[in-house]
Amino acid sequence: MITERTTSPKVTIPTIPLIPAVKAGSKNYWQKLVAPYAHSDLRRSLGQLANSLLPYLALWGLMIWSLRISYLLTLALVIPAAGFLVRLFIIFHDCGHGSFFKSNTVNRWVGFFLGVLVFTPSENWWHDHAIHHATAGNLDKRGVGDITTLTVEEYAQGSKWKRLTYGLFRHPLIMFIFGPILVFIIMNRVPSRGAGKRERRSVVLANLTLLAIFLIASVTIGWKAYLMIQLPVMWLAGSIGLWLFYIQHQFEDVYWVRNDQWDFTHAALDGASFYKLPKVIQWFSGNIGYHHIHHLMPRIPNYFLEKCYEDNPDLQCPTTFSLRSSLKALSLRLWDEQDHRMVGFRGVVSRQSSGISRK
């Protein structure tokens, strides 16, 4: 289950200073390694915005036209449209990190309107996502912008109701079939608990803009036609997005430690995977598969992530998944603190008092 609604203090992503040459393997070494790529390129940004937004809008026009012929044709067009929507979400995501344009104002304005297209209020989501970057892999600071993950002990000592609901939420069919509707259509309509004035305002403005789009669509193409297009596009894009986020932080030897042991660099390099995707899928997903680099330096725009990886051999040995090997992660449910790995439910014996179950 994606949790974006937990009370949490404001947290900012740690800054990465530019420091002279330092000892390889140290924290400063990794920071210096990725810092040269942490800048935007206006030509690339505008080009990426154009080759993502314009095809998406064109496909919307084709889907409206296709409704007159066959809804099966419409659903076929939903597939590429969802791909472009995923790519637009990555741009929206980069705007939140201040990496897509040099101007913070431009990032916020472009990010807001792209957020409307992906049914995600910009400031509210960016705030929770910043907390995710600042706490990923920290067992004592779970619950904001991440996928709910219990330890084996927490699951064993939980009530029957807690174990039942957790098992349902973590089931792939629930997470990837119903999850997109829950997150993007329902949860994103409400501000996070503890959200500030800016975050609450972004939710209100996004909701009002979406309402205006719906009303205009109702008058022009009809509300049924709008929903017949928007819902499947949003569902498919959301499912893809949730899967990408899941595989980047849910694998057997992922990094989870208690707060007193937590380290930002280790959380990036050991707590985020490299998803080696076919080039076409890599393009549509905006290079987000290079997730360990993204967590190491969030201000690198997506179009420089691959170059950063190719230029630096030291960044080429994270946990790596292909499309086929990534499917194994679907069986993982719990974090085993004693064995330091993610495990499934199989073989877990619940204990209400003490003792940790084993897989």
Q: How many CB atoms lie within 10 A of CB 299?
A: 19
Query: Tokens 């179950």 — which residue?
Result: 357
Percentage above 70 pLDDT, the chain: 89
Name beta bridge partners: 299.
none
Inform me whether the pLDDT recorded for 235 exceeds 50.
yes
200, exposed or middle or buried, with CB in 10 Å at 0-12, 13-18, 19+?
A: middle
Inform me whether the pLDDT recorded for 115 exceeds 80.
yes
Q: How confident is the model at residue 194 (pLDDT cuts 50, 70, 90)?
A: confident
The answer to whether residues 292 and 272 touch, using CB atoms and an 8 Å cutoff, is yes
Inform me whether the pLDDT recorded for 11 exceeds 60.
no
Which of 3-7, 66-70, 335-339, 348-352 has the highest average model confidence (pLDDT)? 66-70
Inform me whether the pLDDT recorded for 222 exceeds 80.
yes
Q: How far apart (Å, rounded) are the C-alpha atoms in residues 250 and 175?
A: 13
Cα dist from 356 to 9, 161, 332, 348, whole Å: 31, 19, 17, 9
According to DSSP, residue 170 is labeled: T
Q: Is residue 13 part of a domain?
A: yes
Residue 341 main-chain phi, psi, to 5 deg: -160, 160
Percentage above 90 pLDDT, the chain: 77
| Closest listed residue to residue 53, CA positions, set 28, 5, 4, 90 | 90
Mean pLDDT across the chain, nearest whole number? 89
Q: How confident is the model at residue 146 (pLDDT cuts 50, 70, 90)?
A: confident
Q: Is residue 350 part of a domain?
A: no
Q: Is residue 351 part of a domain?
A: no
| Closest listed residue to residue 275, CA positions, set 293, 256, 301, 253 | 293
**Range with the poorest average pLDDT among 20-24, 188-192, 216-220, 253-257:** 20-24
Name beta bridge partners: 342.
335
Q: Is residue 348 part of a domain?
A: no
Inform me whether the pLDDT recorded for 125 exceeds 90.
yes
The answer to whether residues 278 and 323 touch, using CB atoms and an 8 Å cutoff, is yes
**Looking at residues 298-313, what average pLDDT do you find?**
97
Q: How far apart (Å, rounded) are the C-alpha atoms in residues 216 and 112?
A: 19
Inform me whether the pLDDT recorded for 351 exceeds 70.
no
Q: Is residue 349 part of a domain?
A: no
Q: What is the pLDDT of residue 349?
A: 52
Domain range for 232 is 2-343
Q: What is the pLDDT of residue 86?
A: 98
Which of 79-83, 270-274, 332-336 has the highest average model confidence (pLDDT)? 79-83
Q: How many CB atoms lie within 10 A of CB 37?
A: 20
The number of distinct structural domains making up the chain is 1
Q: Is residue 237 part of a domain?
A: yes
Q: Is residue 352 part of a domain?
A: no
Q: Which residues contact 51 (CB under 8 A, 6 or more apart)?
A: none
Q: Is residue 356 part of a domain?
A: no
Q: What is the pLDDT of residue 359?
A: 43
The answer to whether residues 280 and 286 touch, using CB atoms and an 8 Å cutoff, is no
Inform me whether the pLDDT recorded for 237 exceeds 70.
yes
